[in-house]
Amino acid sequence: MQGGKVAKAARSARDTAGSCFRTAVVPAAGLGTRFLPATKTVPKELLPVVDTPGIELVATEAADSGAQRLVIVTSPGKDGVVAHFVEDLVLEGTLAERGKFHLLEKVRKAQALLDVASVVQEEPLGLGHAVAQVESVLDDDEDAIAVLLPDDLVLPCGVLDVMSRVRRKRGGSVLCAIDVPKDEVSAYGVFDVAPVPDAVNPNVLRVNGMVEKPALADAPSTFAAAGRYLLDRAIFDALRRIEPGAGGELQLTDAIALLIAEGHPVHVVVHRGSRHDLGNPGGYLRAAVDFALEREEYGPALREWLHHRLGPDWDPQLTATD
């Protein structure tokens, strides 16, 4: 599609200078069990945050940070996720005929972001195994990849730009960390960190180790992996050498820990903004409300309703018979 090509070319011309990766990987092979029954037929990554699927938000972030290609890791039969990025001529024709140009623009946005490819993870063997599937579709000259977990919205966007700058300066791999409450550490990959003596940015820390879903007593810090990784290509070799870890799965965290143990430089950028976890209904709802409050067509009415709903005058009986 003409418009899409122009938009993609404009992005890549702007971005070749900045980012140190061309391919962004989005693992999307999970069953979405926490969203059943919705995810019986609708992939979790297509659930809308207001009106835009989570995976389109993540793809936009990747494209804005310089990715030219998105590789989606899917599971057998989960091709709807990829279809979201494919031009739909019938739908576009109908919208154009009806003069719905505003909707046409919305529909064309995803396919204009970047090139999209997919690889299939035949068996659910873990995040590390999902990322390993991507090696075969990389070009020989790609020495790093970005990985964005579609459950995580890291806001405001832009942490991948900082991570690219850190890799350019310090080499190796760079991850995004968030400081989580102590009682949540065991839901994450947790970093053992140390300050970087010559760092200008105090949010850049050296990683001396990483452990997946530790018990609180074993957690080396409260800095947790927040779903954004800029990984050196060496990760694929490490992924071939790990054994199943937490939950009996091949963990990306364990491959990163192996690289660290072998002297590969790993740093984190501590993200101090906000973050939503789209991976469970509670976090997903918060994201939807947060995004809707920012939209001029929905925000004011929603704010007013929430105010009323949470206020002392709320009477469910009255509302039910309204």
Report residue 293 as tokens: 């409050």
Please answer whether residues 126 and 247 qualify as being in contact, where contact means their C-beta atoms are separated by less than 8 angstroms: yes
Q: Which of 21, 85, 188, 223 touches ligand G1P by CB under 6 A? A: 188
Using rule CB under 6 A, residue 54 touches ligand G1P: no
| Cβ neighbours for 262, distance < 8 A, ≥ 6 positions apart | none
Q: Which of 56, 151, 232, 254 touches ligand G1P by CB under 6 A? A: 151
Taking residue 251's Cβ as centre, other Cβ atoms within 10 Å add up to: 25
Using rule CB under 6 A, residue 232 touches ligand G1P: no
Q: How far is the CB of 58 from ligand G1P (least distance, A)?
A: 12
> By CB under 6 A, which span of 88-96, 154-162, 165-173, 222-230 interacts with ligand G1P?
222-230
Extract long-range pairs of 282-285: CB within 8 Å, 24+ residues apart.
Answer: 284/35, 284/47, 284/49
Q: How far is the CB of 212 from ligand G1P (least distance, A)?
A: 5
Taking residue 73's Cβ as centre, other Cβ atoms within 10 Å add up to: 24
Taking residue 15's Cβ as centre, other Cβ atoms within 10 Å add up to: 18
| Residues 241-300 within binding reach of ligand G1P (CB under 6 A) | 253, 279
Please answer whether residues 238 and 258 qualify as being in contact, where contact means their C-beta atoms are separated by less than 8 angstroms: yes
Using rule CB under 6 A, residue 227 touches ligand G1P: yes
- Taking residues 108 to 147 in sequence order and writing x for each that binds ligand G1P by CB under 6 A, - otherwise, the string is -------------------x--------------------
Residues that bind ligand G1P (CB under 6 A): 127, 149, 151-152, 188-189, 212, 224-227, 253, 279
